[in-house]
Structures are given as C-alpha cells and as structure tokens.
Amino acid sequence: MQITRLFAVLLMVLEWTRPGLSSPLRPICDLRVLDHFIKEAWDAEAAMRACKDACSIATNFTVPLTRVDFDVWEAMNIEEKAQEVQSGLHVLNEAIGSLQASNQSYVLQSHVDASISNIASIRQVLRSVSIPEYVPPASGGEDEETQKVSSISELFQVHSNFLRGKVRHLLASAPVCKQGVS
C-alpha cells in the first residue's frame, strides 16, 4: 500500500518537475488516479471498523456532508463545486489531522498519515485541472455543509464517501477534462 502511494505521487511529481519545461501542470483527468486514493480511504475505513477499542477516541469530529443532490450539483457552476469540494477536503484534513497528536495505535497512525498525504495529493490533482484552491470564508461561523461524527470509523467512512462522491464528480466535470485532455 505504501509503495503504490509513493509510486503514484512520484509519477505526479516527476511529471510536474520535468526539467526544461516551463509549462503549467499537466491535467490529470484519469479517474484511475482518484480510484487509487478512494481504495486507500476505503482500506482505512475497513481497518478502523475492525480496530474497534484500540482505535477509539472520545471526541466528535466535524466532517463534510457527503450526500450529493444531483439536480443541485448540476445547477452549480464549477467555482461553486470547487469551493464545496475544497472546503470539504479542508475539513477532512483538519479532522484527520487532529488524530496525529493523539497517542494511537500504529495501525491508526499509519492510516492517518496516509490519509493526510492522500488529501494533499488530491489537492495537487485538482490544481492540475485548474480547480481553485480552498479560500477560508471571512466569517468564523460553522459551515452548514458539515456534520458531526463520533467515531474514528465514521470519520474514515465520510472520507471514503466524500472522495467517491463529490471529489469524483468535480474531477469528472472539470472543464479541462471535458475537452478530451488526459
């Protein structure tokens, strides 16, 4: 698992840093790249379901909503979709990152580290298809597009569902990907 993630990230970095080229990032429209991250998120979710007591923590996590109302989604412009996905990735990164400081099992810690790394890679993939990066709202109020979960298992389930839903739909609808560039 670690080697395949490293290989995928290495390929992306090598493509972006090819010497002598001053062109912008090449779009990564192949959904198989995202499928790799979805599989790892699903593996983390399965591991946390199996871990139970050794991977429990007494706290609530704020996570993004994962449901997609396709009528509403299709009516949104790409900037609105991007903001929703990028803010959701930010919320997930904060929630999963909060586990890094806790003294958890090796199993949990390895999934936390992998998830943080994967979210960063997903942000790079989105950047490669010209999806605007996350800009925090000016107001400090809590986003209505979030919910609370009370277990690590639920946190990783939301992570997996968010990638399979909103992130996949955003990447598939990115204008540069619709132009047949891959």
Helices (H), 31-151: 31-51, 70-75, 78-97, 106-128
The CATH number for 88's domain is 1.20.1250.10
State the average pLDDT for the chain.
Answer: 82
Reported pTM: 0.80
For residue 182, being part of any structural domain is answered with no
Q: Look at residue 138 in the predicted model and tell me its pLDDT.
A: 66
Among 8-12, 48-52, 89-93, 149-153, name the most confident range.
89-93
Q: What percent of the chain has pLDDT over 90?
A: 45
For residue 136, being part of any structural domain is answered with yes
pLDDT value at 38 more than 50: yes
pLDDT value at 166 more than 90: yes
For residue 100, being part of any structural domain is answered with yes
- Is 42 in contact with 155 (CB distance < 8 Å)? no
Q: Which domain holds residue 99?
A: 24-175
Q: Which helix (H) or strand (E) holds 157?
A: helix 152-162
Average pLDDT over residues 1-30: 57
For residue 69, being part of any structural domain is answered with yes
Average pLDDT over residues 37-54: 87
pLDDT value at 111 more than 80: yes
Residues 6+ apart with CB under 8 A from 132: 79, 82, 83, 86
Give the count of domains, the chain: 1
Pairwise CA distance, residues 105 & 94, whole Å: 19
For residue 58, being part of any structural domain is answered with yes
For residue 6, being part of any structural domain is answered with no
For residue 147, being part of any structural domain is answered with yes
For residue 19, being part of any structural domain is answered with no
